[in-house]
């Protein structure tokens, strides 16, 4: 069966990313050691260019290509935008962060580009096999990046830990996929949706549960979250930022498509367990974030807790606030959390410490850096007028709308708990006196990335209508 030519046209972004990655490998090969930075800039330019075909797909009718294995719809486009933008920002932030730790700078940009491709594939996969493959694709790039500092034991630990956890949960997930295939005789999500009604219950529950293990690992959902703090702490900070944002977004894309397309028509009640896991994730993540002294570990536990909030959006997916809320939360979280990690890069690079107490008096040493960090912390808490608030507003609304008031109350309590450790960072920066020591402002690319993250956080909070339209379109297409 020949592949129709239009199908190839809808894959331009993916081809572009793959070609870009290969081109960067070549470029890295021929550039002398002190000019590897150019690989990074080439990656940024290439990624900016790929945004054009992606944005061009906005508003085109939803369809599947390649024998129904690959979805081309607003939902996928939305996640591709997140993937590419996040990767651009992470590459900008990487440019100074690797110096002194490793001489392999160029390869990092290559890996990030390939990981971005993997995220795009994950978001668009409409077939269990392609889904499993793309998850592995993202994972393999991430394992290498997490253990990137070969001489640093913590980074090694991060890489190995991430690999072991990832391999195990992938195995469980693929086993779940195979049971699902056995029950329905299909690997295509849309085809499964037609057959899942008649699938025998207990086996189906088992299959869905096992699939959740793999996807839950990617999004740091409790109880598959244990790797998160160690990996975030040990991995190079830009990599931690990528894992916390792009990799998590991809996990949610796959989770949402899997549950809402394939499983939703079936007899399995997945809303209640997801709601339960949401409550457990946000609570556990928050409680463990409270005593953290290391900013990266704190952000890791906060990322577990945010996974809980996002799962609340998955559980409350019906209505105008559900799925759009999940997407807008993810969008705001992308900018906010990237920004928080970028500040950690800037401070860590200058002060050589990721401990929160070393942020003391940052407001007087570098007012701008402290101000944007305060903005990010408030956005993570969900204080207006930030994007984080809009996300929470939507998700709370969705919970109320879907009759999950108990979950909304749990989320309220958790938001108050979360305030304590987020504001603690503000307290340290603004209320504590500065010890001696110079100012901590980052190099130009990092400052650029920080500026974009801060702007994104604010704009989503103050002028949300364009984003509301965007996620509205993305979530509508998902439902068909």
Partner 1 sequence: MERYLLTITVFLPLLGGLIILLIPKGRDELMKWVAAAAAGLAFLVSLWLLGPFEMGSAGMQLQERYLWIPGIGINYHLGVDGLSLPLLIMTALLSLLSVVYSWRIEMRLKEYLFLFLLLETGTLGVFVALDFFLFFVFWEITLVPMYLLIGIWGGPRREYAAIKFFLYTLVGSLAMLLAIMLLYFNAEPRTFGILELIQQQPLARVPALAALAFWGFFLSFAIKVPMWPFHTWLPDAHVEAPTAGSVILAAVLLKMGTYGFVRISLPMLPETFKLFAFPIAILALIGIIYGALVAMAQTDLKKLVAYSSVNHMGYVMLGVSAAAAAVGVPEKAHAATIALNGAVFEMIAHGIITGALFLIVGVIYDYRAHTRGVAEFGGLGARLPLYTGVTMMAMLASLGLPGLMGFVAEFLIFVGSFGVFPELTALAVTGVIFSAAMFLWTIQRIFLGPLNPKWAELPDLDRREVISLAPLAALMLAFGVYPRPLLDMINVAMTSLVAVLR
Residues at the site binding partner 1, with contacts judged by CB under 8 A = 320-321, 363-364, 378, 383-385, 389, 393, 396-397, 400-401, 405, 408-409, 412, 415-416, 419-420, 423, 426-427, 430-431, 464-465, 468-469, 472
Smallest distance, Å, CB 93 to partner 1?
25
Of 382 and 456, the one with the shorter C-beta distance to partner 1 is 382
Of 252 and 396, the one with the shorter C-beta distance to partner 1 is 396
Smallest distance, Å, CB 420 to partner 1?
7
Tell me if residue 327 falls in helix, strand or coil.
helix
Of 195 and 427, the one with the shorter C-beta distance to partner 1 is 427
**What's the CA gap between 84 and 44, in Å, rounded?**
9
Of 133 and 423, the one with the shorter C-beta distance to partner 1 is 423
Smallest distance, Å, CB 394 to partner 1?
8
DSSP conformation letters of 275-317: HHHHHHHHHHHHHHHTT--BHHHHHHHHHHHHHHHHHHHHHT-
Smallest distance, Å, CB 384 to partner 1?
4
Smallest distance, Å, CB 261 to partner 1?
24
Smallest distance, Å, CB 428 to partner 1?
10
Of 296 and 447, the one with the shorter C-beta distance to partner 1 is 447
**What's the CA gap between 3 and 10, in Å, rounded?**
12
Smallest distance, Å, CB 339 to partner 1?
17
Beta-carbon contacts of residue 18 (< 8 Å; ≥ 6 apart): 114, 117
Give percent helix, percent strand, percent coil of the chain, each to the nearest 5. Answer: 80, 0, 20
Of 26 and 462, the one with the shorter C-beta distance to partner 1 is 462
Smallest distance, Å, CB 321 to partner 1?
7
Phi-psi region of 199 (alpha: psi -120 to 50; beta: other; left: phi over 0): beta
Of 134 and 386, the one with the shorter C-beta distance to partner 1 is 386
Tell me if residue 102 falls in helix, strand or coil.
coil
C-alpha closest to that of 387 among 315, 342, 337: 337
Of 70 and 321, the one with the shorter C-beta distance to partner 1 is 321
Tell me if residue 467 falls in helix, strand or coil.
helix
Smallest distance, Å, CB 371 to partner 1?
9
CA gyration radius, the chain: 21
Of 145 and 471, the one with the shorter C-beta distance to partner 1 is 471
Report DSSP state, residue 384.
Answer: T
3-state secondary structure 16-72: HHHHHHHHHHHHHHHCCHHHCHHHHHHHHHHHHHHHHHHHHCCCCCCEEECCCCEEE
**What's the CA gap between 480 and 472, in Å, rounded?**
13
Smallest distance, Å, CB 86 to partner 1?
24
Of 53 and 384, the one with the shorter C-beta distance to partner 1 is 384
Residue where the block lists tokens 């195995």:
171
Of 311 and 316, the one with the shorter C-beta distance to partner 1 is 316
Angle in degrees, CA 83, 41, 18, rounded to 5: 50
C-alpha closest to that of 342 among 228, 453, 216: 453
Of 83 and 426, the one with the shorter C-beta distance to partner 1 is 426
**What's the CA gap between 315 and 256, in Å, rounded?**
10
Compute how many other C-beta atoms are within 10 angstroms of the C-beta atom of residue 206.
15
Residue 223: is the preceding peptide bond cis (ω within 30°)?
Answer: yes
C-alpha closest to that of 205 among 281, 266, 278: 266
Smallest distance, Å, CB 312 to partner 1?
13
**What's the CA gap between 333 and 87, in Å, rounded?**
14
Smallest distance, Å, CB 438 to partner 1?
17
């Amino acid at each position: 069966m020949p592949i129709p030519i239009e199908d190839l046209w809808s894959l331009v972004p993916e081809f572009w990313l793959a070609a870009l990655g290969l081109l960067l490998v070549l470029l890295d090969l021929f550039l002398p050691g002190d000019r590897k930075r150019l690989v990074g800039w080439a990656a940024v330019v290439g990624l900016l260019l790929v945004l054009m075909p992606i944005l061009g797909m906005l508003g085109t009718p939803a369809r599947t290509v390649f024998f129904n294995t690959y979805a081309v719809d607003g939902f996928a486009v939305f996640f591709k935008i997140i993937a590419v933008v996040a990767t651009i920002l992470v590459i900008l932030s990487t440019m100074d962060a690797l110096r002194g730790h490793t001489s392999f700078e160029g390869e990092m940009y290559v890996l990030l580009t390939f990981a971005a491709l993997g995220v795009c594939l994950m978001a668009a996969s409409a077939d269990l096999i392609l889904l499993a493959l793309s998850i592995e694709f993202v994972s393999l790039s991430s394992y290498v990046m997490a253990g990137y500092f070969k001489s640093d034991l913590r980074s090694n630990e991060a890489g190995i830990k991430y690999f072991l956890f990832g391999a195990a949960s992938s195995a469980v997930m693929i086993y779940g996929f195979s049971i699902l295939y056995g029950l329905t005789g299909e690997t295509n999500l849309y085809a499964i949706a037609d057959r899942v009604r008649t699938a025998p219950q207990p086996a189906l529950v088992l299959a869905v549960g096992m699939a959740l293990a793999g996807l839950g690992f990617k999004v740091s959902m409790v109880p598959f979250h244990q790797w998160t703090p160690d990996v975030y702490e040990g991995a190079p900070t830009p990599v931690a930022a990528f894992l916390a944002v792009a990799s998590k977004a991809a996990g949610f894309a796959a989770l949402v498509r899997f549950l809402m397309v394939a499983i939703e028509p079936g007899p399995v009640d997945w809303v209640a367990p997801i709601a339960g896991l949401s409550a457990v994730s946000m609570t556990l993540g928050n409680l463990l974030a409270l005593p953290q002294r290391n900013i990266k570990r704190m952000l890791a536990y906060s990322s577990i807790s945010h996974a809980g909030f996002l799962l609340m959006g998955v559980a409350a997916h019906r209505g105008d606030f559900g799925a759009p809320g999940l997407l807008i939360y993810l969008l705001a979280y992308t900018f906010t959390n990237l920004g928080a990690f970028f500040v950690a890069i800037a401070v860590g690079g200058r002060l050589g410490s990721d401990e929160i107490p070393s942020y003391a008096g940052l407001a007087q040493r570098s007012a701008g850096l402290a101000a944007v960090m305060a903005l990010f912390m408030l956005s993570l808490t969900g204080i207006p007028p930030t994007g984080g608030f809009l996300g929470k507003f939507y998700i709370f609304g969705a919970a109320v709308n879907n009759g999950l008031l108990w979950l909304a109350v749990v989320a309220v309590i958790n938001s108050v708990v979360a305030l304590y450790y987020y504001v603690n960072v503000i307290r340290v920066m603004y209320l504590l006196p500065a010890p001696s020591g110079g100012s901590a402002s980052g190099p130009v690319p990092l400052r650029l990335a920080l500026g974009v993250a801060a702007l994104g956080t604010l704009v989503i909070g103050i002028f949300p209508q364009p984003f509301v339209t965007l996620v509205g379109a993305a979530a509508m297409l998902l439902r068909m």
